Structure 1
């Protein structure tokens, strides 16, 4: 193979890794190795970067998630009109409620009441990992957009849970409300003046919003979530997690182009800073998260979809019940958001380490999804000719 061919392959692999956020598990793997060999130096490193990564860098990760919600709910988007959004939103709600219930039951049955504060950890779905698994299993199939819609709804509901139930410090609502009001009206003013650059929205509205959440006692990583809807965007939806065309000049598309790859660096650091836990620190919190998310997600999604269909909703064409089960298993990969919820729920200590290990090991949901697909003859495991590749 020529040097040019090898270079092209390397670029293709790098592009694939960035598109599917594979830098995150790389950072997490390095963190695990570091924490289990040189624990003291890792602890110093993680403590030094924790604030800048979790409270500042992750602002842009959640902003890109909010961007997907904005485009999906815009006219012509995948979630526009309540009829199109209803079933995946109901599935997301069920996929959050049942894991939370399982987690709480586990904590009560094992008499580990201190774990109760972490009830939201197994509610999470890692969009990038789940999408990658679904894409490998289903290739071109309605199950993929259904899972993405479900994951977006899960993210949106998760942002609400994070803001309401996990304030990182004492609430100072008056200061927070005043600053957030200024952030929103400032962003609205920029929108009305047809400011096309995203920078004024980020620097003015985003900064005020960050201060509002920080001083108000809520998590500042959500700072751009209320600002992103004000960014001017084109009247089109290129598709879920499909990059806008390179020539797109609207502010929302330019924001995505600018921050798409820097956010991958943030995710690498997020894994490196937060995933380093001694594996011997596993305990009841680990099993509470794993049991709740790996069992609760497919059960919750399956039950909620069943109830919705019984109430009059319809499954998308070519989406069978077997596919729904596999989607539920794939949605059981919590990873990124589960790690974030764990750091928000518990202070440094044994409970945080235990639940972090559970969040990390939720990647075994990928194995469950493949096993379910093979057992149920779904996607790539269907008989030859039953489904076009």
Structure 2
């Protein structure tokens, strides 16, 4: 056990050093040649991460970087998914015939299209976190970093090809007017919380656990996590979190001190994911006549369901957006003046016929506005709801997600 803890500590330390170097190289004015040399050093350090994990009986080493070309079965690239920041394509190695998922990042809005160095640093940062988590069966496996086809300087990520995302599953079931049942959600949440705990033990915070980044494995129908583009270390400070406002925890919306590197952000995201699977809708959803995606509007939606937090909860959030924190205090005062201090409506959105009392304790614990009272992944797994050891961790999930795949 001591050897495992020592290994975990060394992984966290190396990962923190890598992130610090990447942040420094991305700063304006950094010499281009220095960037290129340092990127080579980062690649070597990533292999050291993989070698460290290999002492814990992990899978074989990563594929070395090289300029490879990939084609699908029809000789064309097939898009598997993507969003505003990246595109994932199904590819097949022309020589070996193996299929992979190739992730290509999009340039940032403020980034020049010809600044390959900044682009590559973003790729290497995400690859570093994937390398640190490599070997755990619940994480999408990174096979290597390779050159983008038809380029000679831009990198992309070569990963295992997993199944469809839970976003596709919920979309499919929404179209058919159904949602996942409680026992199915419990199986998935057990896996999600387990790999969240494993990730937090390494000092890693994912910060973007949403349905689009949770995939279903083909072989044993296990739930896998990908999308480490927003991940950070607990030792980093004030690393920007560029996720959608609807996915941010209250303390992050208030720019709380230390919030951006707290593992409790993942607890909040997992609670939102659990609610979405149970109800087939976003718990803090934008109303039809509300197109305001500001932090203030999102806090209104959260407090409309969970109630406006009290003075102690606001202190625990350590808000640095003082103007928004002042507005929250005013909301609380107005509600107190009309006798509506407690407008907790989460149980109305997730009624007992959808989720049992034991399950609701998990959901409520993950969606606490006060971060100090919010459940960690490890604490959530100890609750009675998970005492029933469901067989076949994700049995039945494959039937639920097979519909939207074309």
TM superposition score normalised by structure 2: 0.23
Of Structure 1 and Structure 2, the greater strand share is in 2
Structure number with higher relative contact order (C-alpha < 8 Å, ≥ 6 residues apart)? 1
TM superposition score normalised by structure 1: 0.24
